Structure 1
């Protein structure tokens, strides 16, 4: 392996390597805390391994089954309220933790979905998933669930609009370029 390749790999995985180093240091310096931290890190890693493969399979299917023109028609620039509503429904019906939303958002960007709709999708994934809503309705009451959902709906659209408007055209193009690079 070339030295430059080794350093490129280390740079790419610097956060994971840093976490590993901190866990090792903690295990020697403060064994009780260190082993607890290492156990939690391992548990989180196992959870990611159980969630990400199905997400990537679905992403592959989304990439193959939904052509760019269809994505642009329903979620692209100019899709309006229909596109934002569809992005919200896609995010709300999703399953899995929030970190699984970002690969999906990347595929959406590669197929020219508007940034506004991608922001709405991520917002809905993080705050309005159907399982969370049913849990809230059952445990906190229907009034609470509906109130929070309405506030989130408005909040997501406002935040997506503000973030989208705050990006220059160059910054928006940079986001699309980063998505293309993978």
Structure 2
């Protein structure tokens, strides 16, 4: 029981805070509950397809293939593939982390995982097309030309800053996830 309470303590704290908020200000509490409900509904619509695709990736793509194209010796090929996969991805950023965990299980280089997460968050193709239509080609292309090198530079710096021991712990943790 203690372990269960510890695991869900943040959820329980937020739940208690929402109940107190509803008691203090009923209108605001109900609004917060509706927003929370909409967020949960959105997650329930996004997460299952992501996990389905992850299962297929895990089964269909051999570890050796992932290592060849995105592993330690992949070079520019791995960087470009990480940017492409991240940019072509659909869904909110929290969907990138299960994908990153599968990439870790498959032996993808840490820097390429960071690039993938950066690309998922900032260079999505639908967002780029929307920016071209709403803000103009010059803005959209300029932002993309700044973001891509920025993602690569940040991923390189972060991969050098994080100790080898911490990276190994992340990979071990990813392997234990089923």
TM superposition score category, shorter chain reference = over 0.9
The answer for the alignment partner of 2:28 in structure 1 is 33
Q: Which moved more, 1:171-180 or 1:42-51?
A: 171-180
Distance 1:150 1:12 in 2: 42
Distance 1:109 1:14 in 2: 28
Deviation, structure 1 residue 148: 0.3
Distance 2:122 2:67 in 1: 25
Deviation, structure 1 residue 16: 2.2
The answer for the alignment partner of 1:167 in structure 2 is 162
Which aligned pairs between 1:1-182 and structure 2 lie closer than 5 A? Answer: 6-182=1-177
Q: Structure 2: where are the runs of 5+ without partners?
A: none
Deviation, structure 1 residue 170: 0.7
Deviation, structure 1 residue 172: 1.1
Q: Structure 1: where are the runs of 5+ without partners?
A: 1-5
Deviation, structure 1 residue 8: 2.3
Distance 2:84 2:164 in 1: 27
Off by >6 Å, runs of 4+ in structure 1: none
Distance 1:61 1:11 in 2: 33
Distance 2:3 2:48 in 1: 24
Distance 2:112 2:62 in 1: 17
Distance 1:13 1:113 in 2: 31
The alignment partner of 1:88 has SS state of: helix
The answer for the alignment partner of 1:3 in structure 2 is none
Deviation, structure 1 residue 120: 0.3
TM-score, normalised via structure 1 length: 0.94
Deviation track 1:87-127 (CA, whole Å, cap 9, x = no partner) reads 00000000000000000000000111011000000000000
Distance 2:141 2:43 in 1: 31
TM-score, normalised via structure 2 length: 0.96
Deviation, structure 1 residue 12: 2.3
